[in-house]
Amino acid sequence: MGKILDKKDLKCFFEKLQKIGEVVAPVKNENISFKPVKKFSEVCFEGRSMFPIKKYFLPTKEAIAEIKNDAFVEKNDFKKRIIFGARLCDLNGLLVLDKLFLDPLYPDKIYAIRRENTILIGFACKEPLSDFCFCESMDLKDYYDLLITENNEKYYVSIGSKKGANLVTEYKDYDINLKKPVCKKKLKNKNIHDFFDEKFWEKDALKCVSCQRCTLLCPTCLCFDVADEMNIDLKLGTRNRSLDSCHSKDFTLVAGGHVFRDTKLKRYRHRVFHKIQYFKDKFEIPMCVGCGRCMEFCHSKIDFVDTINNLKK
Amino acid sequence: MNLKKYKILSTSKETADDVFLRIETDINPQPGQFVQVSIPGIGEAPISTASCDENFLDLNIRVVGNVTKAIGNLKKNDYIHLRGPYGRGYPLVDFKGKNIVLIGGGCGVAPLRGVIKYLEKHRKDYDEITMFFGFRTPQDVLFKDEVAVWMKKYNFNMSVDKSPEDNPFFCPVGFVTQILDQTKIETKNTEVLLCGPPIMMDKCVEILKKKKFKDSQLWVSLERHMKCGVGKCGHCMAHGFYVCKDGPVFRYDEVKDITDE
Ligand code: SF4
Ligand code: SF4
Ligand code: FES
């Protein structure tokens, strides 16, 4: 269960968070986007951000090491951060990223330190935030430190971790069941192994213009490239990691010139299979969290959920 | 990033396209595993390892891109940045008591050299050792001095696609598939390790199946674009496998249905 706060409490709570670290929250301008926020009044409590919160753990482009005198010096980021107002889909997106970046065999240091230093506070959705949301089909987990549900000017705070519990000790307990959103859009089939044949994906692939917005905006798309960038004197530089996309033609290019996924169809199908099938086969949860961004913002309005729902042998 | 700096003990030019590096390192890979080699300012490349269980590491580098070109320019006593070893190698421990057949093409012979080094160390644990190696020309043959020794010690078969100049090994001219096809091989209690260009491996698998080998006796090493080497960046994915982490060595029946990806 959890704690109950009124509007005044929530504002105080938000101000208390400011003393712990940098608070980032959704802000509404042209789009909704996560930004460092100082004033409670700036926080936008509606809608979902266009860009997911992955940017605070896996920036679009960043230096992971400095190159100095022919050697590498690893970079790090120890900033204390509170993400205030992430939606459950995005929080589950972090669960997906954690599976890979916190893999005990090869943990990713920068990512692990950022995760360690971040407090995750979510806003529950009372209803779907867009027509493309289908999170209800994706069995989302309670993956957060705290999750705030608004109901008649009261804020019900569910506790997801000890880190979260410690932040709200002074508030009163509640003991009611909170409603979860019901999505109109549904993904009806999450086992698509039998539909690998090209004919099932032709129509969608024909529309794709390889703009890569789907992968950029997806909360769980993490594929990256690594490249060195040097100053003009070739003495100082950085090794950079930047988000890459399986929709890019060179993504599977090997030395010697061969490209494994050499058509749009193969690339599009790979993304869908990775999101719905491959990841789940390995990690038991699908890679897709049902946020709907890849369809809503697709240049060609390709709707892979529709496509899957209509798959017939 | 886990990169560490190591000293190069020696370098040599194996062929017109290959350089051989011996590196002083505590990295001790299993045959079939790979390391990530970095050149500051140029980038990183996955290189399969060619030695086994020594206090040095041997790498054979086919110069095809910018990073490998830069590696090729390194000299004795220079330093090189490595991380690894990564991936799943050939499970040689499981093959104890068996016959081993090695089939390699071009620079695919390099990882098999690591296998040979291992088998030599544990010779009494294994039965017959048979090799089929193919190169473009006699000049492209890797590890020429060692090949001369292997010829004497093992059931050694080698072919070259063509021989425009002299042929010091007096080996047949033709594809490795031809010598494989023509040679009788015991299938019972045998494991076959393949490494080479995809077409060569496909053709060899076909022949081996004609010889009544089961898919589960064949071990192939897959090539993919690798960036991170540790199952994250997504570049090496092939039908749900991370080739860098789940492979690069796979039992053939695990991956035989992977077509275009
Ligand atoms: S695949 Fe699409 S719907 Fe699923 S999490 Fe990514 S952007 Fe959201
Ligand atoms: S957003 Fe749509 S058009 Fe753009 S690459 Fe993705 S599927 Fe293709
Ligand atoms: S090389 Fe990055 S996932 Fe395999």
Tens of pLDDT along B50-75? 998 888 999 999 999 899 999 999 99
The predicted structure's pLDDT at residue B260: 58
What does the pLDDT look like over B158-208, one tens digit per residue?
999 998 888 888 888 899 999 999 999 999 999 999 999 988 999 999 999
> What average pLDDT score do residues A204-228 get?
96
Q: Does B72 touch chain A (CB under 8 A)?
A: no
Q: For chain B, which domains are there?
A: 4-86 (2.40.30.10), 92-221 (3.40.50.80)
Q: CA A91, CA A111: separation in Å to the nearest integer?
A: 15
CB distance A228–B3 less than 8 Å?
Answer: no
The predicted structure's pLDDT at residue B100: 97
Which of A8-22, A53-67, B127-141, B164-178 has the weakest average pLDDT? B164-178
> What average pLDDT score do residues B24-40 get?
95
Q: CA A5, CA A119: separation in Å to the nearest integer?
A: 19
When the pLDDT of each residue in chain A is averaged and rounded to a whole number, the result is: 95
Q: Is the CB of A269 under 6 A from ligand 2?
A: no
pLDDT at A313 over 90: no
The predicted structure's pLDDT at residue A123: 96
What does the pLDDT look like over A126-182, one tens digit per residue?
999 999 999 999 999 999 999 999 988 899 999 999 999 999 999 999 888 888 889
- The complex's ipTM works out to 0.92
Give the confidence band of B259 by pLDDT, cuts at 50, 70, 90. low
Which of A198, A223, A276 to probe by mutation at the B interface, max B CB count within 10 Å?
A223
CB distance B224–A260 less than 8 Å?
Answer: yes
The predicted structure's pLDDT at residue A70: 87
pLDDT at B122 over 80: yes
- What percent of chain B stands above pLDDT 90? 87
| Alpha-carbon distances of B96 from A73, B124, B129, B189, B190, rounded to whole Å | 44, 9, 12, 10, 10
The predicted structure's pLDDT at residue B257: 84
> What average pLDDT score do residues B28-41 get?
95
Query: Phi and psi for B248 in degrees, rounded to 5?
Result: -70, -15
The predicted structure's pLDDT at residue B258: 83
From ligand 3's centre to the CA of B230, what distance in Å?
A: 6
**Residues 179 to 238 of B: which have CB under 8 A from any A CB?**
223-225, 227-228, 230-235, 237-238
What does the pLDDT look like over B217-229, one tens digit per residue?
999 999 899 999 9
- Cβ(B10)–Cβ(B76) under 8 Å? yes
pLDDT at B1 over 80: no
The predicted structure's pLDDT at residue A179: 82
pLDDT at A1 over 80: no
**Ligand found nearest the CA of A248:** 2
Q: Does B64 touch chain A (CB under 8 A)?
A: yes
* 3 state DSSP class of B244: helix
Burial of A264-279, coded b for 16+ CB within 10 Å and e otherwise, reads bbbbbbbbbbbbbbbb
What does the pLDDT look like over A13-48, one tens digit per residue?
999 999 999 999 999 999 999 999 999 999 999 999
Which of A74-78, A293-297, B129-133, B251-255 has the weakest average pLDDT? A74-78
The predicted structure's pLDDT at residue B261: 60
CB distance B234–A244 less than 8 Å?
Answer: yes
Q: Please choose from A88, A204, A288, A304 the residue to mutate so as to test ligand 1's pocket, defined by most ligand atoms within 8 A of CB.
A: A288
Q: CA A267, CA A260: separation in Å to the nearest integer?
A: 10
> Cα dihedral sign for B25, B27, B31, B32?
negative
Q: CA A195, CA A198: separation in Å to the nearest integer?
A: 8
Enter the pTM of the model. Answer: 0.93
Contacts with A77 (C-beta within 8 Å, 6 or more apart), sequence order: A110, A113, A114
